[in-house]
Amino acid sequence: MSVNTFGHLLRVTTWGESHGPAIGCVVDGCPPQIALSESDIQPFLDARRPGQSRHTTQRREPDEVRILSGVFEGRTTGTPISLMIENVDQRSKDYSEIANAYRPGHADYTYDAKYGFRDYRGGGRSSARETAMRVAAGAVARLVVPQVSILAYVAEIGGDRIDPANFDAGQIAQNPFWCPDAEAAKRWEALLDDARKAGSSLGAVVECVATDVPAGWGAPLYAKLDAELAAAMMSINAVKGVEIGDGFHAARLTGEQNADPMSPGDDGPQFAANHAGGIAGGIATGQPVTCRVAFKPTSSILTPVESITRDGEATEVRTKGRHDPCVGIRGTPVVEAMMTCVLADQFLLHRAQCGSASTDRA
């Protein structure tokens, strides 16, 4: 019941603050004999790393991950895998002006209300810096379920949505927005430039799809695949909404419109639609598992917002620092990592209860 731990059997415990000496995580429960080195993890961290385009924060964090345990002669041993990244760019001076004020929309006030302290150096534990370790853990999880493909991308920024007709997975890595629609990417460039120049910020919607998830994965009732995904996504900084399949749109459909008809197929049932997002009763159907995640605009903006100090005095907070105008962009690899962790965890849960032959009829 560690609240800084994620997962049931593939257990990821993260630690560290934005301005401490390091951040890290411990991945416990990983199966043995999986080939693993830093080079399996570093590319995912590099993808999330800030400062790679003018559209994300200009902090410089090399984010070099070290494996401190759990690997012997290039393979996992089944014992805890400790991963660590040293914090390099800890310019606390940037934050000195707001040391005593609560930044609205951040966790400054609530951490103080709960724990009685104000880490003025930039969010501390509540900083999105922690999500680097989720990405690192996700890279390990990916090796646990190599049979599954997981892909996240940005579907909408500031209300401007991609056109499904333009969807091209090959585009996602070709622009700074994880955007699968080359035309939308161009429009977003302008949108983001405007927002950055205005010291403003924009929200985003990220979508994530997992294919080749075997029918049967999922653990009813309170560790349902969709419930686990919802918790995983909502635990990411700035996320305010989660949908599976058609999500809120399904609430506006009739039963007929929302049906996913089945027909016989060579390789299990064929489905004529996937309104359900690949999950029924909390268990995977074998269709693509789809999920949508709403990121609010970052609260760090140039426009002053009314606030109070720790002493209860009125003040104003405006942010001049190196913040992301659209946190959803850098959140995309995090969404992908979290879905990967959930699926790897569900794989182990499924294997525990149902064994390897679980999908065969007894």
Question: Interface residues for a copy of itself in 44-103 (CB under 8 A)?
Answer: 66, 68-70, 72-73, 75, 77-82, 102
Residue in the structure block whose two tokens are 């014992």: 79
d(CA 320, CA 304): 10
160 vs 174 by CB, closer to a copy of itself: 160
Per-position b or e across 302-326, b if 16+ CB within 10 A of its CB: eeeeebeeeeeeeeebebeebbbbb
Q: Please name which of 114, 44, 129 lies closest in space to residue 324, comparing C-alpha atoms.
A: 129
Residue in the structure block whose two tokens are 């724990």: 115
Q: Is 297 annotated as a binding residue?
A: yes
d(CA 103, CA 100): 9
Name the DSSP letter for residue 266: B
Q: Is 53 annotated as a binding residue?
A: no
Q: What SS3 state is found at 7? A: coil
Q: Is 299 annotated as a binding residue?
A: yes
Q: How many residues bind a copy of itself (CB under 8 A)?
A: 159
Minimum Å distance from CB 180 to a copy of itself?
A: 17
Which of 47, 176, 182, 241 is in the footprint of a copy of itself by CB under 8 A?
Answer: 241
The pattern of x and - marking residues 113 through 152 that bind a copy of itself according to CB under 8 A reads xxxxx-x----xxx---x----------------------
119 vs 336 by CB, closer to a copy of itself: 119
Q: What SS3 state is found at 205? A: strand
Residue in the structure block whose two tokens are 């070709």: 174
- Our finding on whether 262 is near a copy of itself (CB under 8 A) is yes
Which of 91, 187, 322, 351 is in the footprint of a copy of itself by CB under 8 A?
Answer: 351
Residues 293-332 that bind a copy of itself (CB under 8 A): 294-301, 303, 305-308, 312-314, 328
Query: What SS3 string covers 269-334?
Result: CEECCCCCCCEECCEECCCCEEEEEEECCCCCCCCCEEEEECCCCEEEECCCCCCCCCHHHHHHHH
113 vs 169 by CB, closer to a copy of itself: 113
**Which one of 40-48, 56-64, 165-173, 256-264 is the stretch in contact with a copy of itself (CB under 8 A)?**
256-264
The pattern of x and - marking residues 10 through 49 that bind a copy of itself according to CB under 8 A reads -x-xxxxx--xxxxx-x-xxxxxx----------------
Minimum Å distance from CB 170 to a copy of itself?
A: 25
Which of 135, 246, 330, 343 is in the footprint of a copy of itself by CB under 8 A?
Answer: 246
**Axis crossing angle, helix 131-144 with helix 38-48, rounded to the nearest 10:** 140
Which residues does the annotation place in the binding site?
48, 54, 125-127, 237-238, 281, 296-300, 322
